[in-house]
Amino acid sequence: MRTADSHKGDNGIVAIIGGSRHQHGAPIFSALAAEASGVDLLHVWVPVMHEEVTKHASYNFQVHTFGSDRSDEISSSDRERIIEHLATIDAVVIGPGLSRGAAHLKSITNLLAEAPCPIIADATALHAETLKALILRHSIITPHLGELERMGYLRTELPMLAKKHACTILLKSSVDTVVSEEGTIQTVTGGNAGLTVGGTGDALAGLTAGLVAQGMPHADACTVASTVIKRAGDALFTEIGFSFTTHDVIRMIPRLLRDVLRS
């Protein structure tokens, strides 16, 4: 995906928008996984109260804030700044760790509808209005079975939904299912119960965004990202059993991604 004469920014610019008063780790995991994919630049939007911890997570992060000392909501003025910024971005993850209040969900939905770059909608960004906001936007949604139920859909409806809304769906489960915009289905096996540890879904969304930002077709990005995360889980279980963390998974991404792309 990378050419010898490329310059800074040519190999992917990713933004992550997430976090809430009680969840600072989710957007950081997404950003670290996008970083591990090999993108050139990373922008992380988090609530004001998490600015410093996010800066310390990686020297490569360019950190932006929304909300205030008292609120973790993305206000209308925050949204205007974010939309303007996303015009320069190759892929954005929206949702990890964001608050779920009614006002928050309305703001997130507006952001989904207005974002001018490829979107990976994850976690809190997945609700009943998500696909309406993303219709014909060529976005990616990454629900697990509980989030799919929260959205009001059944697994059997995925091909129809993908074609109707022109989106790619990565359904996370013991066997992941990737449904392309054309409705074709590919499954990804592997992994183990250790991947239920908090944060692996955030990492999967970030890795997917990193691959999209570097020019990989959406369904391929979902399949490759899923394969890498599951292989990381398998390798870590062999090494240390179920006591691995999302940080451990992310540390394995560069080597495993290289191997998957070579094969």
**pLDDT for 185-211, tens place per residue?**
999 999 999 999 999 999 999 999 999
**pLDDT for 93-135, tens place per residue?**
999 999 999 999 999 999 999 999 999 999 999 999 999 999 9
- pLDDT, mean over the chain: 96
Domain boundaries of the chain, sorted by first residue: 13-262
- What whole-number distance in Å separates Cα of residue 173 and Cα of residue 208? 16
Among 232, 263, 261, which residue's Cα sits nearest to residue 249?
232
Alpha-helical segments (H) within 37-180: 51-57, 76-86, 102-114, 130-134, 145-151, 158-165
Cβ neighbours of residue 237 closer than 8 Å, sequence gap 6 or more: 192, 194, 244
**pLDDT for 36-55, tens place per residue?**
999 999 999 999 999 999 99
Q: Give the residue carrying structure tokens 């920014």.
A: 9
Residue 23 DSSP one-character state: B
Contact call for residues 88 and 62 (beta carbons, < 8 A) = no
Tokens for 134? 């993303």
CATH number of 13-262: 3.40.1190.20
Query: What is the per-residue DSSP string for 213-230?
Result: HTT--HHHHHHHHHHHHH
For residue 10, the model assigns a pLDDT of: 80
